[in-house]
Each structure stands twice: as C-alpha cells, then as structure tokens.
Chains A and B, each alone.
Chain A
Amino acid sequence: MRYVSILLVVLTVYTTGCAHRSTITPSGEQPTPPSLPNGATQPLPEKPNPTTGKNEQEIFLDKDLDTLYEEADAGVVQVSDPIAPLNRAIFYFNDKLYFWVLKPVARGYRYLIPTPVRIAVKSFFYNLTTPVRVVNCVLQGKLSSAGRELTRFVVNSTVGMLGFVDIAQNYPQLSVKEEDFGQTFGTYGIGNGFYVVWPILGPSTLRDSVGMIGDRFLNPVTYVQPIEAAIGVAAYEKVNDTSFRIGDYEAIKDASLDPYAAIRDAYIQHRRKKTEE
C-alpha cells in the first residue's frame, strides 16, 4: 500500500512536470531543471550535464550566441566626444546642482503638492508645447500624427480646461509621440555631430542643441515677459517634472562604472530610438 502511494506521488510530480514544461525542443536541447529558491548572492546550484560535465545553463548553441551578440552589438553606440573634459566638468556641475538644489526642492514640492495637481501642471506644460510637436510632425511628413496632435490640443485646451486635464489620454487614437527639431534633423539624415553637456539642460548633441533653439522658438513659455518670469516658469516646470522622477538619476548612477559615459551612451541610444519612431 505504501508503495502504491509513493508511486502515485512520483507519477503526479512527473505529470505536472510534463504539463508545465515542454519536453524536448526542436533543437534537441534538454529542458532545464526547475530553479530552486535562492538567495541574492549564491549562484544557482545546477546539475552538471553528464555528457559534457558542464552546467545545463552554460550551454549556448551557436545560434543562441549569434542572437545574443547581435542583440548586444545593436546597442553599441559610437559618438564623438571631442570636448569630453569640458563636458565632464559640466556634468559634475549638473550633478551637484541636482543633489544640492533640484532634488531637495523637488522633494519638498512633491511633499507639499498633491499628485493630481502636479499631474495637472505637467499636462498643462505638455499641452503648451503642442506647436513644437505639430510642426515637427509636419516636417517629418507625419500628417496623421500632426492631425492627432491638433485634435488633442483642441480637446485638452477646451474641455480639458486650458490643458490642465489630459482628456485625450483616455482615447488611444489620440495618443502621440514626442517630436522635436532634433529628431526632424535626424530623420533628414543629419548626424549627431558630437556630444555636448549643457549646464542645467543636461545631455545633448550638436544637432539636438540646434534643434533645441528651434523648439524654444515654438514654446510659448519663451515669450513670457519679462525674461525673469520666463526663467521662473521654466524652472518651475523643471521642478514639477523632476518631482515625478526622483530616484531615476540616482539609479542610473548606481548602475554604472562611469556615470558620465553611461549617460552619454544612453542619451544617444534614447535619441536614436525616438528618431526611428
């Protein structure tokens, strides 16, 4: 009787194992053993493969390796950085500016101002930059996107009370992608030029810097008088935006060996993706 129950248990385990895992893949690979609960620092105890003496997971087929390296190579970026020493100095300045000024202010602001209000402010500023996106959609020949932007602007500016309420976000057909002059130049085949770090504004390239000037022209905030007020509004927008992103910069810094170079590479990749979209 005991044997029967043991046999039953074995059978049950075996069949559940089958139900959850496909047996042998077309490539003839053996399935991996189920992973065991494990702590953060210990490697997985894996059974050595009897034929090769290697761990199951260590075996990479040639096609796997090709896929893997192809994927990694696609993320490799090359950007010229002739003014690296200056950029690094400005990077250092921005870093201190973030930790000493921007972050404490944004945290205080976040603590004081309820999330719905901060979201409303964000939507308001986003709505204001509609001209930048519409013009660049048109310049890139994305007419339907331009139309969506305009519809969105009309809806949000009226029903959405001057853009404070993002009504349009409830309609997936009105969803839009950010466009700017830097991306437009990119789609025209103009290269990055070289990497530039601006005080306060952060990472950019020669191309994107020229683009930024164009974007500024189409941003109503630029035309606020006097100039001090315009700077004040821009600073407020920056604080409001940062209040949603506290911790992100720190995470990138923690995750890299050379934060300056990691952020540079990430910026180039990020812009490349946006230009492709």
Chain B
Amino acid sequence: MNRKIIIFALIVFVVGMTQLAHGAQPLEELKAPIEQVISILRDPQYKATSKKDLQREKMWENARKIFDFEAIARGSLSRFRWDSCTPRQREEFTDVFTTFIGNNYFNKIQGKYHNEEVVFLKQEMLTESKARVLTKIKRESLEIPVDYSMWLRGGNWKIFNVYIEGVSLLGNYRNEFERFLTNSSADELILELKKKIERQKKGEIVEK
C-alpha cells in the first residue's frame, strides 16, 4: 500500500518535473505574443498615421520573442548555399531576410486589419523538443489554416516554420532562393531583398 503511494507520488513528481524542465507548452508560448500583436492592432492609440511606426515597433518586439528568425533565414537556404556564404554574408542575409518577411507580414496586417481572429486549435508534440501548433485565422466567413512548427531551442519554444494553407514558408523561400542563386551570387540576393524592402517601404500601410 505504502509502496503504491510512493510510486504514485514519484510519478506525479517526475511528470511535474518534466513539465517544469520544458517550461511552458508551445501553444501557450505562441498564444501570448500573437494575442499581444492583435491587441496592438486593435489599440485605438495607434490609429493616427504618425503612430504607425511605433505600432510596428511594438509588433516587432512580440515577433522577436516567438520567431526564431535566425533559423528561418538559415533554413531558407540549402546547407550548401549557407556553407558557401562568408560570415558577413550570412549575418547580412539573416538581417535583411528577417526584415523582409516581417515587413511583408506587418504591411499586410497593419494596412487592412478586418477584425481577424486567431483560433488556437491544438498542439501536436512530434518529439520532446519539436511541436506543431495548429491555428486558423478567421476573417468574415473565411478560415485560413496557419500551422506553426516550433522547437525548443535555447530553453524557449520558438517558431521555425509557418504553413499557411499548407504552404511551407521555409519550403517556398528555399525554392525561390535556390532558383535565384543558380544564376546569381549571395550578394546579389541580399541586394535584391534590400530593393524589395525599399519598395515595401514606399507602399507601406497604404491599403493596396
């Protein structure tokens, strides 16, 4: 009898410890910053055009908490392409690409936010340090499935890939950059992304 209680207590203890060791669960880790971004979008204090930069900065803050941009940049190049880059190119590419995808995303949601709602469906633990979190964005009658691949790196759950309607962010950029790098250099890719960012800036916030 006593042994049973001890075993039970041990199990509870061990389960509790693993929970502790892994920190929060991926879905929970994802939820907080995303809900934060939505509340920033809804916040009337950022309505004025002059406040849009501040609003964007706040959204960046939250994005950086949860997105593993280093990993996303690295994974968007094949192993071979990454290895052929100089350390300076790697660093520059990571910065430029992060700004590029972030601006794309924020331009879209900041320009025309239609009370979209994010529903957190469930998390699937693939291994103890890798998970898939399924969500959907509800816009009027439309439901857009958005799934996040998350991993436990450096002690925190972070997003390293996003699937929008089944289309992998990493996969798509891998295809794009591979095509581009077949005929051009890494520096040209960086330059091309910079040009794109400049163009994004011109069209920023304007509803297209």
A interface vs B, CB < 8 Å? 20-27, 29-32, 35, 37-41, 43-44, 56-58, 60, 64-65, 67-69, 71-77, 115, 118-119, 122-123, 166, 244-247, 250-251, 254-258, 261-262, 265-266, 269-270, 272-274
Contact = CB atoms under 8 A, between A and B. Distances in A.
Interface stretch (B6-14, B34-42, B43-51, B151-159): B151-159
Given A44-B64, A247-B112, A265-B175, A69 B20 contact: no
B174 A254 contact: no
Contacts of A23: 155
Nearest to B95: A43
Interface in B165-185: 165-172, 174-180
Given A22-B21, A31-B155, A71-B160, A41 B99 contact: yes
Nearest to A22: B23
Nearest to A99: B208
A72 B171 contact: yes
Interface of B: 20-23, 56-57, 60-61, 64-65, 68, 70-71, 74-76, 78-79, 91, 94-95, 98-104, 107-108, 111-112, 129-130, 139-142, 149, 151-156, 160-161, 163, 165-172, 174-180, 192, 196, 200, 203, 207-208
Contacts of A60: 71, 74
Given A57-B68, A257-B196, 6 more contacts: A21-B155, A72-B174, A75-B170, A256-B176, A262-B172, A269-B167
Contact of A40 (B57, B79, B155, B178): B57
Given A57-B70, A60-B71, A72-B170, A32 B140 contact: no
B107 A272 contact: no
8 contacts: A26-B21, A29-B154, A37-B61, A72-B168, A244-B139, A247-B112, A251-B104, A265-B172
A25 B128 CA distance: 11
A247 B111 contact: yes
Contacts of B20: 22
B155 A22 contact: yes
A245 B102 CA distance: 21
Contacts of A75: 161, 167-172, 174-175
Which of B76, B79, B156, B177 has the largest count of A CB atoms less than 10 A from its CB? B156
A62 B101 CA distance: 26
A56 B112 contact: no
A266 B65 CA distance: 28
Contact of B104 (A21, A38, A43, A255): A255
Contacts of A57: 68, 70, 154
B160 A68 contact: yes
A266 B104 CA distance: 17
Contact of A68 (B71, B104, B140): B71
Contacts of A118: 140-141
A258 B154 contact: no
Contact of A255 (B101, B155, B171): B101
A64 B151 contact: yes
A258 B179 contact: yes
B65 A35 contact: yes
Nearest to B20: A22
Nearest 5 Cβ contacts at the A-B interface: A75-B171, A273-B166, A75-B168, A31-B155, A32-B154
